Amino acid sequence: MDITLASHRGEIPSTVQVVRKPTMRDVADVAGVSLKTVSRVVNMEPGVDDHTAARVEGAIARLAYRRNEVARNLRKGISLALIGLVIEDLANPFYATVARTIEDVARRHGYAVVMASSGEDPEREREVTTGLLQRGVQGLLIVPAGSDHRYLYADRAMRTKAVFLDRPPALVEADSVVLDNIVGARRGVEHLIAHGHRRIAFVGDPPMVQTSVERAEGYRQALKGAGLPVDEALVRLGTPRVDLAEASTRQLLALQDPPTAIFAQNNRNSVGALRAIRALDARVAFVGFDDFELADMLPVPATVVGHDPAEMARAAAELLFGRLAGDQRPPQRIVIPTKLIARGSGEIVPPSPRGVDFSRRLRR
Amino acid sequence: MDITLASHRGEIPSTVQVVRKPTMRDVADVAGVSLKTVSRVVNMEPGVDDHTAARVEGAIARLAYRRNEVARNLRKGISLALIGLVIEDLANPFYATVARTIEDVARRHGYAVVMASSGEDPEREREVTTGLLQRGVQGLLIVPAGSDHRYLYADRAMRTKAVFLDRPPALVEADSVVLDNIVGARRGVEHLIAHGHRRIAFVGDPPMVQTSVERAEGYRQALKGAGLPVDEALVRLGTPRVDLAEASTRQLLALQDPPTAIFAQNNRNSVGALRAIRALDARVAFVGFDDFELADMLPVPATVVGHDPAEMARAAAELLFGRLAGDQRPPQRIVIPTKLIARGSGEIVPPSPRGVDFSRRLRR
DNA sequence: TTGAAAGCGGTACCAA
DNA sequence: TTGGTACCGCTTTCAA
pLDDT of residue B361: 42
Is the CB of B77 less than 7 A from some atom of nucleic acid strand C? Answer: no
> What percent of chain B lies above the pLDDT cut of 70?
91
Which of B46, B65, B84 represents a domain boundary (last residue)? B65
Q: Are residues B146 and B74 in the same domain?
A: yes
Å: B35 CA to D14 C1': 30
Q: What CATH code is carried by the domain that includes residue B193?
A: 3.40.50.2300
With the C-alpha atoms ordered A97, B99, B310, A128, is the resulting torsion angle positive or negative?
negative
The beta strand positions in B224-332, using DSSP E, are: 235-237, 261-264, 285-289, 303-306
Instruction: Give the DSSP H/E element, type plus range, for residue A101.
Output: helix A93-108
The count of C-alpha atoms lying within 13 angstroms of the C-alpha of A308, restricted to the half-sphere facing its C-beta, is 10
| CA angle centred on B272, ends B270 and B274, rounded to 5° | 65
Higher pLDDT, B18 or A82: A82
Q: Given a cut of 50, is residue B121 above it in pLDDT?
A: yes
| CA angle centred on B137, ends B131 and B139, rounded to 5° | 115
Å: A39 CA to D14 C1': 16
The count of C-alpha atoms lying within 13 angstroms of the C-alpha of A348, restricted to the half-sphere facing its C-beta, is 22
Q: Are residues B290 and B302 in the same domain?
A: yes
Q: Are residues B256 and B332 in the same domain?
A: no
Q: Tens digit of pLDDT for each residue in B284-300?
A: 999 999 999 999 999 99
Which of A46, A65, A84 represents a domain boundary (last residue)? A65
Domain containing residue A260 = 181-308+340-361
Q: Given a cut of 50, is residue B357 above it in pLDDT?
A: no
Q: Give residues 30 to 49 of B whose Cβ lies within 8 Å of A.
A: 41-44
Q: What CATH code is carried by the domain that includes residue B47?
A: 1.10.260.40
Is the CB of A77 less than 7 A from some atom of nucleic acid strand C? Answer: yes
Q: Are residues A159 and A215 in the same domain?
A: no
Q: Are residues B344 and B243 in the same domain?
A: yes
Q: Are residues A235 and A355 in the same domain?
A: yes
Q: Are residues B74 and B36 in the same domain?
A: no
Interchain contact, A114 vs B116, CB within 8 Å: no
**CA of B299 vs chain A CAs: smallest distance (Å):** 5
Q: Give residues 247 to 276 of A whose Cβ lies within 8 Å of B.
A: 271, 274-275
Chain B residues within 8 A of A60 when measuring between CB atoms: 156-157
Tell me how far apart the alpha carbons of residues A151 and A171 are, in angstroms, rounded to a whole number. Answer: 10
Q: Are residues B77 and B94 in the same domain?
A: yes
Poorest-confidence range of A11-20, A50-59, B58-67, B180-189?
A11-20
Interchain contact, A117 vs B96, CB within 8 Å: no
A134 touching B (Cβ < 8 Å) = yes
Q: Given a cut of 80, is residue B2 above it in pLDDT?
A: no
pLDDT of residue A20: 72
The beta strand positions in B95-212, using DSSP E, are: 112-117, 139-142, 161-165, 175-179, 200-204
Q: Are residues A315 and A264 in the same domain?
A: no
Count the domains in chain A.
Answer: 3
**Do residues B89 and A100 make contact, with C-beta atoms less than 8 angstroms apart?**
yes
Tell me how far apart the alpha carbons of residues B91 and B99 are, in angstroms, rounded to a whole number. Answer: 10
**Do residues A74 and B75 make contact, with C-beta atoms less than 8 angstroms apart?**
no
Tell me how far apart the alpha carbons of residues B99 and B80 are, in angstroms, rounded to a whole number. Answer: 19
Q: Are residues B345 and B203 in the same domain?
A: yes
**Each residue of B288-323: b (16+ CB within 10 Å) or e?**
bbbbbbbbebbebbbbbbbbbbbebbbbbbebbbbb
Tell me how far apart the alpha carbons of residues B127 and B119 are, in angstroms, rounded to a whole number. Answer: 11
Q: Are residues B259 and B156 in the same domain?
A: no
pLDDT of residue A197: 98
What averages of pLDDT result for each successive group of 10 residues across chain A (364 residues)? 46 44 92 93 89 92 90 90 94 95 96 94 92 90 91 74 94 95 98 98 93 96 97 94 96 96 97 97 97 97 98 98 93 97 97 54 39
Interacting residues of A364 by C-beta distance below 8 A, sequence separation 6+: none
Q: Are residues A329 and A344 in the same domain?
A: no
A241 secondary structure, DSSP code: S
pLDDT of residue A75: 92
